[in-house]
Amino acid sequence: MRKGYFQFKQFGVRHEKSAMKVSTDAVVLGALAGSKTKFGKIFEIGLGTGVISLMLAQRYPESLVSGVEIDKDAFEEAQFNADASPFVSRIHFQHMAIQEFLLNAQPASVDLLVSNPPYFSDHLKSVDSKRSLALHTDALSFDELLEAAAFLVDEVGEFWVILPERQMMDLIKRSQTCGFYHFSTVVLRDQPNKPVLRLICGFSKSERNFFQNEIAIKNDSGKFNSDYAHLLREFLLIF
C-alpha cells in the first residue's frame, strides 16, 4: 500500500494532505454509528479525509451522505475520495465551518449526525496549524457542536460521537441541556484489561432504553480480538 493512501475493501482513502490521517477512531465510529437498519439523510461535522462518511455510505446504501470540513486541504482530499468511490452519486461535501453551514440549513433535516470532533481545550498546541485545528476546540466547542446537533437532528434521529473518556463525560453532561438523551455507549480498549481508549456514544431527542458494550482491539495475546475483526470485516483488508 503506497504512502498517503489507505485501501478499504470497497473504496480507497487518500490522506496525504489532511492533518488527521485514517485512524482507529475514525473507522470505529464509521462502523458503529447508527442503531437502525436505514437512514435517509446522514451528515458529518468535520470530514477530515471523508472516511467516516464513506463507511456510512457503504453501510447504508439508500442514504444521502453530506458533510462539512473547515480545512481546505482536508476538504479537497475528502472530495477526491468521494469522487473516486462507488458512492459518489449519493455524497455531497462542502468546504465551510458548521457555523456557516447552519446559517442556511433546514432544521430537523438529518436522520443520522456523526462527528469525530476536536477535543483539546487545555493542552499545548501542535506547531502544525492544521493539526491544531483538527484537535483543538477553538473552531468548534462542545457547546457549538451540540447546538448544531440540536438544530439538525430530527425528532427520531441520532447523533453519534467518539471522544476520550473525560471529554465524553463532559459532552454527555452538556447534551442534557440541549434536549438529548444519551442512549448508547461503546467502550473501546486496546486490550480487555487496559485503560479506556475512547467512548463511542449515541444520543437522541427521544428517550430510549440504554445500551452499553465493550470492544477490545486486541486479545490478551496481542492478536486482533474477534469482536473487533467482526466489526470491521466489511471494510478492512486485513479481515
- Using the CB atoms, write b or e for 8-47: b if 16+ within 10 Å: beebebbbebbbbebbebbbbbbbbbbeeeebebbbbbbb
Q: How confident is the model at residue 131 (pLDDT cuts 50, 70, 90)?
A: very low
Res. 119: pLDDT tops 90: no
18-43 mean pLDDT:
95
pLDDT at 19: 86
Classified as helix, coil or strand, 208 is coil
Contacts of 157 (CB under 8 A, 6+ apart): 108, 110, 111, 112, 113, 204, 205
Res. 125: pLDDT tops 60: no
pLDDT at 120: 52
pLDDT at 193: 93
70-92 mean pLDDT:
97
pLDDT at 188: 98
pLDDT at 1: 52
What CA–CA distance (Å, rounded) separates 211 from 184? 5
Radius of gyration over every alpha carbon of the chain, rounded to an integer in angstroms: 17
103-111 mean pLDDT:
97
Q: Mind listing the domains of the chain with CATH numbers?
A: 5-232 (3.40.50.150)
Res. 122: pLDDT tops 60: no
pLDDT at 52: 98
Model pTM score = 0.91
Q: Which residue has the cell 437532528?
A: 153
Contacts of 231 (CB under 8 A, 6+ apart): 28, 31, 32, 215
Res. 40: pLDDT tops 50: yes
206-235 mean pLDDT:
97
Computed from CA positions of residues 71, 236, 56, 117, in that sequence, does the dihedral angle turn out positive or negative?
negative
Query: What is the average pLDDT value for the chain, to the nearest integer?
Result: 92
Per-residue pLDDT tens over the stretch 132-188 = 444 444 679 999 999 999 999 999 999 999 999 999 999 999 999 999 999 999 999
